[in-house]
Amino acid sequence: MAQVIVPELAESISEGTIAQWLKQPGDYVEKGEYLVELETDKVNVELTADYSGVLKDVVKDSGDTVQVGEVIAVIDENGETAGTQAEEVKVEPVKEEQPKASAPIEEKHEKTESKSQRPIASPAARKLAREKGIDLTQVPSGDPLGRLRKHDVEAYSPNAPASKPAAPQKAPEAKPAKPASDSFDKPVERERMSRRRQTIAKRLVEVQQTAAMLTTFNEVDMTAVMDVRKRRKDKFFEQHDVRLGFMSFFTKAVIAALKKYPLLNAEIQGDELVIKKFYDIGIAVSAPEGLVVPVVRDADRKSFAQIEGAIGELAGKAKNNKLTIGDLSGGTFTITNGGVFGSLMSTPILNGPQVGILGMHKIQLRPIAIDKDTMENRPMMYIALSYDHRIVDGKEAVSFLATVKDLLEDPESLLIEG
C-alpha cells in the first residue's frame, strides 16, 4: 500500500482544501496521472499519483481541509479495479458448499453497519449530499458493492417511497430550534465559500484594520493615448504579435511615478520601511473563483510589447486556473481596472503588504473646458490612488497621481521618463 501525501506547496502555504477528487475509490491510477485538485489560498493545484495502482481508500473528502504532509488517500499497487471486485462478490454466494465463508461475510457486514451507520460513498456524493441536506443512509445504490456515487444522490428524491421499512416515529420535540437569523420564509440557496474567497475576504478586512488607508482621485484625458493606439496598433501587432492595450501605458506611467515617489514602492516591516528598488507590478485579474493579482516581474526593464505579452499570458493562465504560486508571489505595487466592468469611480483596497494601488475606470466622453471660450467632448477616465497614510503623506500621494496623469496625457514622454 502506498500513501498519497499532501506535498510541500510553497513557503507561505501550509494547508489547503480538497476541491475535488479526479479519481474515485476503485479506479486504476497510472503514475503521474492527475489524482486530486487541491485549493489553496492563492491557486488550485492538481496533485499527481506517485505510484500506479488502484485508489483504495480516500481519507479526506471534497471540502475537507488538509495540512502539508497529511495522508489523504491510499493506493494499492497490487490492487484490482472495482469492476473485478464486483465480479468476485457475485460469484462467491453461489458456493453453498462452504458454509464457513458466510460467517465472516455476515460479521464484516455487521461491523460496517455499526460504524456510525456511515455508508460507503464517493467524495463527490458526500459533497452533494451535504449541499442538499440529504441523509446518505436513505439513498439507494445501484453499485453491486453498495457504494454510493454522485448520480445516486442526484437521482434521490426525499418524497419518493422509501425502499426500507419506515423508521420509528420520533417525538416532535427532538428538532432543535433554528436561530432567528437562520429562519427564512422564502427560498434561499446556501453555497460554501471557496478557500480563495475566504482568504480574499480575510486579507481585505486585515488591510482595512491595520493600514491607515486613504484614497485620492484625479482624471485623465485619454485623447493622446487613444490616438497613439489608433495610429500604431496595426503595425504594433504585426511587429510583436500582441495587441497594444491601455495597461502598458499605465504600467509605464506608474513605474516612472514610483521612481519619483519611492515610498509608494515600499512596505512596513516592524518599525522599518523597506523601500524596494525593483518594480514588480501586480495586475488585478478577474478569475473564475475570484480576484487574483499575478505579477509582471521587472516591469521597468520591459518594453510596451513585453508588458502587454506578459499581461496577456497571465490573464490567460488566470482564466484557465493555471496560475502558479510564483505567478502570484511578491509584487511591489498593484494596478486594478474596474473600468472593464463599467465602473466609473471606486476606492480600491490595498493589496497588503503593499502601500499603494492605482484604480483605473471606464473611459467616458465628457464635456471639458479647453479654455475659457471652448468646450470639447473628450474621452475622460477617473483614476484613484489608495495609499497607506502611515508612510505616505497626502502631498506625495497627490503628486504621484498628478505625475501619472501628466505622463498619460503626453504618452511620448513615457519613452523618456519610463
3-state secondary structure of 245: coil
Catalytic residue chosen out of the listed positions 371, 389, 406, 410: 389
pLDDT confidence tier of residue 117, bands split at 50, 70 and 90? low
Q: What stretch of H or E contains 359?
A: strand 356-360
User: pLDDT tens, 352-365?
Assistant: 899 999 999 999 99
Is the pLDDT assigned to residue 90 strictly greater than 50?
A: no
Per-residue pLDDT at 111: 44
Residue 331 to residue 327: CA distance in whole angstroms: 10
Cell numbers 456510525: residue: 116
Is the pLDDT assigned to residue 180 strictly greater than 80?
A: no
* Count of alpha carbons within 13 angstroms of residue 53, beta-carbon side: 17
Per-residue pLDDT at 118: 60
pLDDT confidence tier of residue 297, bands split at 50, 70 and 90? very high
Residue 123 to residue 129: CA distance in whole angstroms: 10
3-state secondary structure of 20: strand
Max avg pLDDT among 74-83, 87-96, 402-411: 402-411
Per-residue pLDDT at 198: 77
Is the pLDDT assigned to residue 94 strictly greater than 60?
A: no
Told to judge if 50 belongs to the known catalytic residues of this protein, a careful annotator would answer no
Cell numbers 489547503: residue: 16
Looking at every residue in the chain, the average pLDDT score rounds to 80
Per-residue pLDDT at 409: 95
User: pLDDT tens, 374-417?
Assistant: 999 999 999 999 999 999 999 999 999 999 999 999 998 887 55
* Rg of the chain (C-alpha set): 29
Q: Which residues partner with 74 through β-bridges?
A: 3, 57
Question: What is the rounded average pLDDT of the residues 214-227?
Answer: 95
Per-residue pLDDT at 108: 45
Lowest mean pLDDT among 16-20, 45-49, 58-62, 120-124: 120-124
Question: Which is it for strands 71-76 and 356-360: parallel, antiparallel or unpaired?
Answer: unpaired
Is the pLDDT assigned to residue 95 strictly greater than 70?
A: no
pLDDT confidence tier of residue 223, bands split at 50, 70 and 90? very high
* Between residues 239 and 131, the one the model is more confident about: 239
* Between residues 141 and 187, the one the model is more confident about: 187
pLDDT confidence tier of residue 218, bands split at 50, 70 and 90? very high
Catalytic residue chosen out of the listed positions 221, 393, 406, 410: 393
Told to judge if 109 belongs to the known catalytic residues of this protein, a careful annotator would answer no
Q: Is the pTM of this model over 0.75?
A: no
